[in-house]
């Protein structure tokens, strides 16, 4: 059976690019090719930008209550196809079905939030700023937005961007990950079914070349990016240097501080899900555990015992507890980090190499103890099921370690002390903080607030930040003369 060629969507045309570059899309749990992805050409990108630009005036002029009607219809279709969408995530990404359902649910929550556009795009006004003069701030859409997304949340991350950008009156070009393009295509198909006019959402495919064509296109007004830190910085500098509005969310190295007054069982279970959920391929994955004081030994023991028992396999099997990593090359890279760390002073407490089914790109849960700040294990985002355990004598030392990281996406503290929690909230240098929570993900009404190399830009994804990112303001200053207040009569 020949694998299906994934189409791109340009205006009302849904057809595969005729470009020569073609990427196989694998099921990471089996290594089988499930689709072929022809990359868009520069001329495809240009056509997509033109389609989005020509759809913009009518869509921007559409009353916001009509734009949100499309989102209400889209929401019903997402609910109708909830299982199909979740299975698609399992198939192209490899995560287990429960995690896939969680991802789709999180995406739908952004659609729910976006339906509040009539309130969230309201302006403000101030009467009588000077004698007889009033001022009014009015929000308008930015124009054509390009959204470039990663492989690890193929459904949710496009949904962080598209619903909010669209209800705010923008048109959009999605460039999904070239490793997981199927969920993005399904989203586009459902939005068309929901009544979105042609050209308001377009989808192109590819890697760096296609991204560059978008970044350098004068018709693209704003860029929303989610991916690794190096790419995020590149996207930010390249697009901003051309006067485009940019938000670029990058990678992470999230620290979980465990105090010796923490509830051990509940903390271990939260850490397990944080470190090994989605095989560690989450920007909110806890990849460093800092055991403070006496808790480090029993904590390590519990983590190793639980991680050793994780059942690896295809995400479609409800018994599976951890799926594969995205590609064979990623597994090899991760194994390279493990081998390198074995030559250091870190102690390999659990070795996941060789675990899981032979077919597919599996790596078992791996834990290093005695990790220190000079090691690559600590410095770099590994983005896989590899957990580093460190020790600290008190909260000050633990916070010093956390704050030395170049990343600042998320951090959590596990404690039963309000004082420790407060110190942590005030002093931890990360944008998303958890207290006795393993994955401290903001709900859609809040922004996704990474710091340091985890974010480049000013206004973050989702929440009120996103509405500000996808709109620009006018401040109108008005004065009305008395003579213009009534009809001019000839006899007066
Ligand atoms: P990636 O940076 O490799 O790719 C992301 C997107 O950028 C893809 O669409 C890809 O085609 C494009 N791209 C890749 N290299 C490029 C280049 N050199 N020039 C231009 N475009 C390029 O990221 P990934 O491997 O798909 O995703 C995993 C990364 O995303 C991790 O680092 C993870 O932490 C991060 N992430 C961050 C968040 C967040 O909210 N901060 C959320 C999800 C994922």
What's the first-to-final CA gap in the chain, in angstroms? 87
Measured from the CB, is residue 148 less than 6 Å from ligand 1? Answer: yes
| 200 CA to centre of ligand 1 in angstroms | 24
Cβ 454 under 6 angstroms from ligand 1: yes
252 in contact with ligand 1, CB cutoff 6 A: yes
Report yes or no: 37 and 150 within 8 Å, Cβ to Cβ: no
The pLDDT value given to residue 405: 98
Q: Looking at the predicted structure, is the pLDDT value of residue 209 above 90?
A: yes
Report how far residue 386's alpha carbon sits from residue 287's, in angstroms, rounded to the nearest whole number: 7
Fold for 254-435, please state it. Aldehyde Dehydrogenase; Chain A, domain 2 (3.40.309)
What confidence category does residue 486 fall into, taking pLDDT thresholds of 50, 70 and 90?
low
What is the arithmetic mean of pLDDT over 307-330?
98
Check: CB of residue 295 under 8 Å from CB of residue 259: yes
Please report the beta strands in 181-249, taking only residues with DSSP state E, as ranges in sequence order.
Answer: 201-203, 222-226, 245-249
- pTM here is 0.97
Looking at ligand 1, which residue's alpha carbon is closest to its atom 8?
177
DSSP result, 441-472: PPPTTS-B--EETTEEESS-BSHHHHHHHTEE
Q: What is the pLDDT of residue 492?
A: 42
For ligand 1, mutation pick of 227, 230, 254 (most atoms within 8 Å of CB)? 227
Determine which residue's CA is closest to atom 22 belonging to ligand 1. 208
Distance CA 10, CA 63 (A): 24
How much distance in Å is there from the Cα of 474 to the middle of ligand 1? 34
Q: 265-290: per-residue pLDDT in tens?
A: 999 999 999 999 999 999 999 999 99
What's the rounded Cα separation, in Å, for the pair 433 and 410? 6
CA-based angle 158:161:164, to the nearest 5?
135
Number of helices and strands (H, E) in the chain? Answer: 16, 23
- The yes-or-no verdict on residue 75 having pLDDT over 70 is yes
Catalytic residue among 108, 165, 256, 283: 283
Nearest ligand 1 atom, CA 409: 41
pLDDT score for 447: 98
Is there an atom of ligand 1 within 6 Å of 449 CB? no
Instruction: Compute the distance between CA of residue 419 and CA of residue 402 in angstroms, rounded to an integer.
Output: 18
Cβ of residue 152 lying under 6 Å from some atom of ligand 1: yes
How far apart are the C-alpha atoms of 85 and 79, rounded to whole Å? 9
- State pLDDT tens for residues 119-144: 999 999 999 999 999 999 999 999 99
Q: Is the pLDDT of residue 480 over 90?
A: yes
If you take atom 21 of ligand 1, which residue's CA is the nearest one? Answer: 208
Report, at the CATH architecture level, how domain 4-250+454-477 is classified.
Answer: 3-Layer(aba) Sandwich (3.40)
pLDDT (0 to 100) of residue 224:
99
Q: Are 291 and 300 in contact (CB under 8 A)?
A: yes
270 and 254 Cβ atoms separated by less than 8 Å? no
Q: Which of 106, 150, 178, 220 has most ligand 1 atoms within 8 Å of its beta carbon, as the pocket-test mutant? A: 150
Q: Is 283 a catalytic residue?
A: yes
Residue-range domain boundaries for the chain: 4-250+454-477, 254-435
Assess contact for 177 and 155: CB atoms under 8 A: no
- Average pLDDT value over all residues in the chain: 97
* Residue 466 exposed, middle or buried by CB count within 10 Å (0-12, 13-18, 19+): buried
* Whether residue 214 has its Cβ less than 6 Å from ligand 1: no
Q: Each residue of 16-70: pLDDT tens digit?
A: 999 999 999 999 999 999 999 999 999 999 999 999 999 999 999 999 999 999 9
pLDDT over 60 (residue 491)? no
């Amino acid at each position: 059976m020949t694998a299906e060629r994934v189409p791109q969507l340009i205006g009302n045309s849904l057809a595969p690019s005729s470009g020569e570059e073609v990427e196989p899309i694998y099921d990471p749990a089996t290594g089988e090719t499930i689709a072929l992805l022809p990359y868009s050409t520069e001329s495809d990108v240009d056509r997509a930008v033109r389609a989005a630009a020509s759809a913009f005036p009518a869509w921007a002029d559409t009353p916001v209550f009509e734009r949100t009607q499309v989102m209400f219809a889209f929401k019903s279709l997402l609910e109708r196809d909830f299982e199909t969408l979740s299975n698609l995530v399992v198939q192209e990404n490899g995560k287990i079905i429960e995690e896939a359902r969680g991802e789709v649910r999180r995406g739908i929550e952004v659609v729910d939030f976006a339906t509040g556009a009539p309130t969230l795009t309201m302006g403000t006004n101030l009467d009588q700023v000077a004698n007889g003069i009033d001022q009014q701030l009015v929000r308008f859409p930015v124009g054509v937005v390009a959204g470039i997304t990663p492989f690890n949340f193929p459904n949710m991350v496009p949904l962080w961007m598209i619903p909010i950008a669209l209800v705010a009156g923008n048109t959009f070009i999605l460039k999904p990950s070239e490793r997981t393009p199927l969920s993005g295509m399904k989203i586009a198909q459902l939005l068309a079914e929901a009544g979105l006019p042609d050209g308001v959402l377009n989808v192109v495919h590819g890697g760096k070349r296609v991204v560059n064509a978008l970044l350098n296109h004068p018709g693209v007004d704003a860029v929303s990016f989610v991916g690794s830190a190096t790419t995020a910085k590149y996207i930010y500098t390249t697009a901003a240097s051309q006067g485009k509005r940019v938000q670029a969310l990058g990678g992470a190295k999230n620290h979980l501080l465990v105090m010796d007054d923490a509830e051990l069982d509940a903390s271990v279970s939260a850490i397990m899900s944080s470190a090994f959920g989605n095989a560690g391929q989450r920007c909110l994955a806890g990849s460093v555990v800092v055991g403070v004081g006496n808790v480090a030994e029993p904590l390590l023991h519990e983590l190793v015992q639980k991680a050793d028992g994780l059942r690896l396999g295809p995400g479609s099997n409800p018994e599976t507890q951890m799926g594969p990593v995205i590609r064979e090359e990623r597994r090899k890279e991760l194994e390279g980090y493990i081998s390198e760390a074995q030559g250091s002073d870190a102690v390999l407490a659990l070795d996941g190499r060789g675990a899981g089914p032979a077919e597919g790109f599996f790596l078992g849960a791996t834990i290093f103890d005695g990790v220190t700040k000079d090691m690559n294990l600590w410095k770099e985002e590994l983005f896989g099921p590899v957990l580093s355990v460190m020790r600290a004598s008190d909260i000050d030392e633990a916070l010093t370690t956390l704050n030395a990281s170049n990343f600042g996406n998320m951090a959590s503290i596990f404690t039963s002390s309000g004082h420790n929690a407060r110190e942590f909230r005030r002093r931890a240098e990360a944008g998303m903080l958890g207290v006795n929570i393993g994955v401290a993900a903001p709900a859609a009404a809040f922004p996704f607030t990474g710091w340091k190399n985890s974010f480049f830009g000013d206004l973050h994804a989702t929440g009120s930040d996103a509405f500000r990112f996808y709109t620009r303001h006018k401040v109108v200053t008005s004065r009305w003369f008395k003579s213009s207040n009534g009809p001019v009569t000839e006899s007066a």
